[in-house]
Amino acid sequence: MKNKTPKLKKKSTGKYGNGFYADEDIKKGTIIHMFTGKRMDVKELVQKVNSNKENIDDPFQIGKRTYIDLDEVSRTFNHSCDPNCGIRKVGEMFSLRDIKKGEEITYDYSLTIAPTEWKMKCLCKSKNCRKILGDINSVSKKQLDSYKKFGALQNYMKKLLKEIESGNYKVPKYEIEALNSLKI
């Protein structure tokens, strides 16, 4: 029973489509979900978005060049600027604190996004809501430090942050080319 993930319930958030809610009390540090779906690179991602097979807000980044085309379950989890879950390793979502039955399960979308032009309006209404979501650089230093403390960063993002913090990070050329060909 050790590896069993907690019971969740899918229902309408009343503001931005469906979300997942805890259907039992969850202890801090519990694995909640593994993000899964077909792997794709940035070129495939752009092709999918351009042919309306994918919404630009939906792909989930798991590597410098690798994204997942999230399955239906995985794409139901919503963002919050004050989330109760983090993501670590490769797409492993876990609880950052104790979660009460009935609370919506959320994570911080920006934590999975390498520096890019991506922006999304946020309706999470948490006290520290950033209003406009962006990439990892849009997360405040204080909040990023607390995510780091919890180990709430994926493997690739840990490496990337080292490059960003040492001033050696440049948006890769393939990414700029791909994004320039986006028709949105």
Residues 18-47 within binding reach of Zn ion (CB under 5 A)? none
Please state the closest distance from residue 96 (CB atom) to Zn ion, in A.
16
Please state the closest distance from residue 17 (CB atom) to Zn ion, in A.
15
Binding mask 72-91 for Zn ion (x = CB under 5 A): ---------x----------
Residues in Cβ contact with 72 at an 8 Å cutoff, skipping those fewer than 6 apart: none
SS3 147: helix
Indicate the residue among 132 and 176 with the shorter CB distance to Zn ion: 132
Please state the closest distance from residue 130 (CB atom) to Zn ion, in A.
5
Asked if residues 133 and 110 have their Cβ atoms less than 8 Å apart, the reply is: yes
Asked if residues 6 and 30 have their Cβ atoms less than 8 Å apart, the reply is: yes
Instruction: Give the C-alpha distances (Å, rounded to integers) separating 69 from 62, 72, 155.
Output: 11, 10, 19
Indicate the residue among 45 and 81 with the shorter CB distance to Zn ion: 81
By CB under 5 A, residue 153 contacts Zn ion: no
By CB under 5 A, residue 120 contacts Zn ion: no
By CB under 5 A, residue 124 contacts Zn ion: yes
Position among 8, 113, 122, 178 found at the interface with Zn ion (CB under 5 A): 122
Residues in Cβ contact with 117 at an 8 Å cutoff, skipping those fewer than 6 apart: 179
Q: How many helices (H) and strands (E) does the chain have?
A: 4, 12
**Binding interface with Zn ion (CB under 5 A):** 81, 122, 124, 129
